[in-house]
């Protein structure tokens, strides 16, 4: 007697294509039958997550296990994942699946023949093209994104900005117009905080990365991240200069350059909701919402807090998005792995995962109701329309550059060090880190 396994049905997985539905049924039906019970192989997945993230992923996994009878073994190795994964792969003992640190490492495993193309058995039609492209190497897709974080946002206090007769900017020129108008009225346009202990400087790298995407485009951005162009390249110089046009202007930043260098990144946006406002605009990722709430618990998030997308600069490149994402790839192709990847790509799985964490789902069929507030739902809506998405560049660079010379270079530049010197210093570190 075969036990019926529910789960992969149209009612529960509405975003699966009919072909994938049939395949899922075959996958489950093909499992061996022993003693009247369905016997399923284990699936192993290596992840970086711990704490609340690991707990949320376990909940996501449990729903799959209950529906299929497939046992998923989650191995959390923390921040050692990039090293552990390579070691296991080279020893011929990789996990079935892994949460990739970034698309760059995914591509490295593809080049070594380690990963399985997924487009043949996972429905990606409900995933924005930008995320499918980001997981594509050559002619094949080698992973699925289950969530993302969005960095390309400018936060503002609607009451304060509208009281000045101003509105969110749709272009860099409009953004600079708002900046100049506020400064001309004796008001401070921007709140910027670059201080972060040993990691001071990183918020400035996000600015520069967003600007690079909008002035140089994604292909040159990728070359910059890979050090296929030098830090002294005109495109990199221009990105620093546009960043400096705001942050190095004493009249444009709360506390001037001294304030930008000394105010902690988490504390910096609070002044937007002071009375009167200490500043009007703040560029930061979705996570900053919790810092704003902590500083001003009296705020109504739906009414008092808002953001707009960091605007385009060169119309040629539109409005690319900067952030990070959770990418899953497979080292083995088994029926159980295919079923699990199909599930992780679905709206059902991502609703559990993102609903628990406030992360932004990739599957466009995940309903807005799963998010903790309208701000997060609005950010998810922005993500759904993504045409170009890139990972935080400094996170992809060797540590000596991305979390070393780049951070230091930002601080030096804002402190008044000549830009040529700053770029030459980073370039020297990059040549050593990249091996020439």
CA distance 110 to 244: 39
Neighbours of 200 (CB within 10 A): 19
Q: Per residue in 255-298, pLDDT tens?
A: 999 999 999 999 999 999 999 999 999 999 999 999 999 999 99
CA distance 219 to 222: 5
Residue 384 burial (10 A CB sphere; 0-12, 13-18, 19+): middle
Decide: 244 and 236 in contact? Cβ < 8 Å: no
State the helix-helix crossing angle for 335-345 and 51-68, rounded to 10 degrees.
120
pLDDT tops 60 at residue 131: yes
Residues 6 or more apart whose CB falls under 8 angstroms from that of 384 comprise: 128, 364
Decide: 57 and 350 in contact? Cβ < 8 Å: no
Which DSSP category does 70 fall into? P
Q: Per residue in 99-127, pLDDT tens?
A: 998 998 999 999 999 999 999 999 999 99
Tokens of 33: 């039958």
Decide: 359 and 149 in contact? Cβ < 8 Å: yes
* Average pLDDT of the segment spanning 315-335: 96
* Average pLDDT of the segment spanning 15-21: 40
> What is the predicted pLDDT for the residue at 218?
97
Decide: 54 and 76 in contact? Cβ < 8 Å: yes
Three-state SS for 144?
A: strand
* Average pLDDT of the segment spanning 348-352: 98
Which CATH superfamily groups domain 18-149+326-390?
A: Periplasmic binding protein-like II (3.40.190.10)
Q: How sure is the predictor about 2, in pLDDT bands with cuts at 50, 70 and 90? A: very low
**Strand ranges, E, within 127-175:** 136-137, 140-141, 144-150, 153-156
* Average pLDDT of the segment spanning 296-303: 96
Tokens of 134: 């980001």
> What is the predicted pLDDT for the residue at 436?
61
Three-state SS for 305?
A: coil
> What is the predicted pLDDT for the residue at 170?
98
Q: Please state which CATH class domain 153-319+397-434 belongs to.
A: alpha beta
Q: What does the mean pLDDT of the chain come to?
A: 91
Between 15 and 89, the higher pLDDT residue: 89
Residue 186 burial (10 A CB sphere; 0-12, 13-18, 19+): exposed
Decide: 267 and 193 in contact? Cβ < 8 Å: yes
> What is the predicted pLDDT for the residue at 378?
97
* Average pLDDT of the segment spanning 81-110: 95
CA distance 211 to 230: 17
**pTM of this structure:** 0.86
| Domain boundaries of the chain, sorted by first residue | 18-149+326-390, 153-319+397-434
Q: How sure is the predictor about 300, in pLDDT bands with cuts at 50, 70 and 90? A: very high
pLDDT tops 90 at residue 427: yes
**Strand ranges, E, within 168-293:** 281-283
Three-state SS for 297?
A: coil
Sign, CA torsion 221/223/228/229: negative
Q: How sure is the predictor about 41, in pLDDT bands with cuts at 50, 70 and 90? A: confident
Report the percentage of the chain scoring pLDDT > 70: 91
Q: Per residue in 175-223, pLDDT tens?
A: 999 999 999 999 999 999 999 999 999 999 999 999 999 999 999 999 9
The two domains 18-149+326-390 and 153-319+397-434 share their CATH topology (first three levels equal): yes
- For the chain, the straight-line distance linking the first and the last C-alpha, in angstroms and rounded, comes to 65
Neighbours of 227 (CB within 10 A): 18
Between 11 and 161, the higher pLDDT residue: 161
CA distance 331 to 116: 6
Tokens of 359: 């992360």
> What is the predicted pLDDT for the residue at 30?
37
> What is the predicted pLDDT for the residue at 294?
95
Residues 6 or more apart whose CB falls under 8 angstroms from that of 25 comprise: 8
Neighbours of 145 (CB within 10 A): 26
Q: Per residue in 261-270, pLDDT tens?
A: 999 999 999 9
Give the H or E element holding residue 45: strand 43-47
> What is the predicted pLDDT for the residue at 371?
96
| Strand-pair partners of 308 | 154
CA distance 69 to 66: 6
pLDDT tops 90 at residue 4: no
């Amino acid at each position: 007697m075969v036990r019926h396994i529910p789960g992969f049905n149209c009612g529960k997985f509405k975003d699966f294509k009919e072909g994938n539905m049939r395949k899922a049924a075959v996958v489950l039906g093909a499992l061996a039958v022993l003693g009247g019970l369905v016997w399923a192989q284990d699936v192993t997945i290596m992840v970086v997550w711990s704490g609340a993230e690991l707990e949320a992923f376990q909940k996501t996994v449990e729903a799959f296990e209950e529906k299929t009878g497939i046992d998923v073994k989650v191995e959390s190795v923390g921040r050692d994942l990039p090293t552990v994964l390579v070691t296991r792969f080279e020893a011929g003992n990789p996990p079935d699946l892994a949460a990739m640190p970034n698309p760059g490492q995914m591509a490295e495993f593809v080049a070594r023949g380690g990963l399985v193309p997924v487009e043949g058995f996972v429905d990606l039609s409900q995933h924005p093209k930008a995320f499918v492209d980001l997981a594509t190497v050559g002619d094949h897709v080698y992973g699925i994104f289950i969530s993302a974080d969005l960095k390309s946002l400018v936060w503002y206090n609607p009451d304060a900005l509208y009281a000045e007769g101003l509105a969110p900017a749709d272009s860099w020129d409009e953004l600079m117009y708002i900046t100049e108008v506020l400064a001309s009225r004796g008001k401070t346009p921007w709140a910027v905080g670059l201080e972060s202990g040993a990691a001071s400087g990183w918020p400035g790298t996000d600015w520069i990365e967003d600007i690079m995407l909008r002035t140089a485009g994604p292909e040159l951005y990728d070359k910059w991240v890979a050090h296929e162009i030098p830090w002294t390249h005109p495109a990199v110089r221009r990105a620093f200069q546009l960043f400096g046009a705001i942050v190095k202007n004493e009249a444009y930043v709360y506390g001037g350059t001294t304030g930008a260098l000394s105010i902690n990144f988490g504390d910096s946006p609070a002044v937007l909701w002071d009375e009167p406002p200490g500043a009007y605009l703040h560029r930061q990722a979705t996570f900053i919402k919790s810092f704003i709430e902590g500083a001003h618990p009296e705020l109504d998030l739906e009414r008092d807090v808002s953001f707009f997308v960091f605007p385009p600069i060169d119309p040629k490149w539109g409005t690319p998005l900067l952030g990070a994402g959770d990418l899953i790839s497979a080292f083995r192709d088994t029926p159980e792995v295919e079923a699990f990847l199909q599930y992780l790509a679905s709206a059902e799985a991502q609703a559990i995962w993102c609903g628990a964490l406030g992360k932004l789902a990739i599957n466009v069929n995940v309903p807005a109701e799963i998010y903790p507030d309208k701000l997060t739902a609005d950010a998810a809506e922005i993500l759904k329309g993504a045409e170009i998405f890139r990972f935080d560049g400094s996170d992809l660079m060797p540590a000596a550059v991305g979390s070393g010379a780049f951070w230091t270079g930002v601080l030096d530049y804002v402190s008044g060090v000549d830009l040529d010197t700053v770029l030459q210093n980073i370039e020297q570190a990059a040549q050593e880190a990249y091996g020439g």
